[in-house]
Amino acid sequence: MLSVLDIFRIGVGPSSSHTVGPMRIAARYRRRLAKLALSPDMIAMIFRGSLAFTGEGHGTFRAAKLGLLGFRPETIDMAKAEAALAELERTGALPDGTRVETVVDYEQPTRLHPNEMQLIASASGERIDGRTYYSTGGGFIASHAQLSRPAENDLVQTDQPVPYPFGSGAELLAICAAHGLSIAQVMLANEDARRPRETTLAKLDRIAAVMMDSVDRGLRASGPLPGPLGVERRAAHLWNKLTTAPPNEREALFDWLNVYAMAVNEENAAGGQVVTAPTNGAAGVIPSVIRHYCHDEDGRIQDSMVQRFLLSAGGIGLLYKQRASISGAEMGCQGEVGVACSMAAGGLAAVWGGSPEQVCAAAEIGMEHNLGLTCDPVGGLVQIPCIERNAIGAVKAANAARLALHGTGKTVVSLDAVIETMRQTGLDMSTKYKETSQGGLAVNVIEC
């Protein structure tokens, strides 16, 4: 069983699979070299598949270099990171003198996952070590050996027994019914097997705090986002309009959800700190819904509501991760914003007092109307359509939760069925629409 803390990870933008994952891979490889007491004079990093095609726009190569330099997504100090990176670019080497080479391989097909990264260490021109890794979405990584043996990879952690293991939505609902528990209570009991409850709740509070910080930073910042598209940030302008003359039209709900989601995704596009929810590209949907709905009458965010939201949404997210994928390179955007929408819908239904069946129904509706959603980022940047797509995903999540709560929780299409449908649709989807920027908007919008 995965932990809810595997689904929500603190990282940096713009992409969990293309920024956070490669940074973690490079750091892991350095640890491997240290453990083996190897002292190369050069490390080559070879990027293949989606990491090659959209790596430049996603900041993949920078992130991997930062990983070699010892930075981690959860704790990175951006000022120190920029200084270290500038020094590496100037000298071409790490502080210990090890030269770093970046190779973008568009030709060789990837083997076990579309996000492949190979690291080769050499000394005096001789190869002394090499390893292939995969960035499997949401910041998860696996070595070639791990991914070849699914039972032992880090996607399904079986080492920690939990009181309520479940592998499907049906099993989760059966556990809830048998023990009279909510989905959040089941998740928390499972987390209790891993660490003290206070630690879990403190970590959830920290995740929520980073989410809200990313909203706040995005609401204040203005100007163009990085990259050649010249995309202007819009959240701050919309926020000023909303707060100086609050709209009273019925559609105002959309404005609030839109502005919070866009604030986070503009921060993500700018390389700021966000939480994978379940990925960086889809990082705005859940914070937006939390920000708009999980507060008291004075506007203060309510920790208990947020914890219930995150535990319920996390339970749904791990079903997608374990039964399908949350990687845009495997599933298209249905696996990122679609999953975020499904998770947010379930989390919101739980906060609104929905039964476990209604929570799963909300999650099902949230995904059902994202099936087939492609990933076609213009210029390989996580900006168009990603920023607006999160806004649309947040609104859709609230609507899905409403629809579910008006029902009994009984649905014709089960959550498991829609997850499997997403998986099959993702497998059938052309690679042009799976984070390669070779189709869709990416080829129909002219870059200036």
In whole angstroms, the minimum distance from the beta carbon of 377 to ligand SF4 comes to 4
Cβ distance to ligand SF4 smaller for residue 338 or 356: 338
| Residue 374 CB coordination number (10 Å) | 20
Say which residues have a Cβ less than 8 Å from residue 187's Cβ, sequence separation at least 6: 4, 311, 312, 314, 315
Cβ distance to ligand SF4 smaller for residue 66 or 337: 337
In whole angstroms, the minimum distance from the beta carbon of 333 to ligand SF4 comes to 3
Cβ distance to ligand SF4 smaller for residue 118 or 325: 325
Indicate which single residue of 264, 269, 349, 382 sits in contact with ligand SF4 (rule: CB under 6 A): 382
Say which residues have a Cβ less than 8 Å from residue 130's Cβ, sequence separation at least 6: 118, 119, 120, 121
Is residue 271 within the footprint of ligand SF4 (CB under 6 A)? no
Indicate which single residue of 354, 385, 393, 426 sits in contact with ligand SF4 (rule: CB under 6 A): 385
Cβ distance to ligand SF4 smaller for residue 94 or 270: 270
In whole angstroms, the minimum distance from the beta carbon of 378 to ligand SF4 comes to 9
In whole angstroms, the minimum distance from the beta carbon of 220 to ligand SF4 comes to 23
Is residue 43 within the footprint of ligand SF4 (CB under 6 A)? no
Is residue 281 within the footprint of ligand SF4 (CB under 6 A)? yes
| Contacts (CB under 6 A) with ligand SF4, residues 421-440 | 435
Binding marks (x or -) toward ligand SF4, 69..108, rule CB under 6 A? ----------------------------------------
Cβ distance to ligand SF4 smaller for residue 155 or 375: 375
Is residue 59 within the footprint of ligand SF4 (CB under 6 A)? no
3-state secondary structure the chain: CCCHHHHCCEEECCCHHHHHHHHHHHHHHHHHHHHCCCCCCEEEEEEEEHHHHCHHHHCHHHHHHHHHCCCCCCCCCHHHHHHHHHHHHHHCECCCCCEEEEEEECCCCCCCCCEEEEEEEEECCEEEEEEEEEEEECCEEEEHHHHHCHHHCCCCCCCCCCCCCCCCHHHHHHHHHHHCCCHHHHHHHHHHCCCCHHHHHHHHHHHHHHHHHHHHHHHHCCCECCCCCCCECCHHHHHHHHHHCCCCCCCHHHHHHHHHHHHHHHHHHCCCEEECCCCCCCCCHHHHHHHHHCECCCCCECHHHHHHHHHHHHHHHHHHHHHCCCCHHHHHHHHCHHHHHHHHHHHHHHHCCCCHHHHHHHHHHHHHCCCCCCECCHHHCCCCCHHHHHHHHHHHHHHHHHHHHCCCCCCCCCHHHHHHHHHHHHHHCCHHHECCCCCCHHHHCCCC
Is residue 282 within the footprint of ligand SF4 (CB under 6 A)? yes
In whole angstroms, the minimum distance from the beta carbon of 20 to ligand SF4 comes to 13
Indicate which single residue of 63, 162, 204, 375 sits in contact with ligand SF4 (rule: CB under 6 A): 375
Cβ distance to ligand SF4 smaller for residue 53 or 239: 53
Which residue minimizes CB distance to ligand SF4? 281
**CA–CA gap between residue 301 and residue 294 (Å, rounded):** 6
Indicate which single residue of 22, 377, 379, 426 sits in contact with ligand SF4 (rule: CB under 6 A): 377
Cβ distance to ligand SF4 smaller for residue 334 or 355: 334
The phi and psi torsions of 191 (rounded to 5 degrees) equal -65, -35
Cβ distance to ligand SF4 smaller for residue 40 or 380: 380
Cβ distance to ligand SF4 smaller for residue 146 or 280: 280
> Quick one: which segment of 39-47, 80-88, 178-186, 374-382 binds ligand SF4 (CB under 6 A)?
374-382
In whole angstroms, the minimum distance from the beta carbon of 437 to ligand SF4 comes to 9
> Quick one: which segment of 80-88, 179-187, 190-198, 381-389 binds ligand SF4 (CB under 6 A)?
381-389
Binding marks (x or -) toward ligand SF4, 323..352, rule CB under 6 A? -----x----x--xx---------------
**CA–CA gap between residue 236 and residue 260 (Å, rounded):** 10
Cβ distance to ligand SF4 smaller for residue 19 or 118: 19
Residue numbers at the binding site for ligand SF4 (CB under 6 A): 281-282, 328, 333, 336-337, 375, 377, 382, 385-386, 389, 435
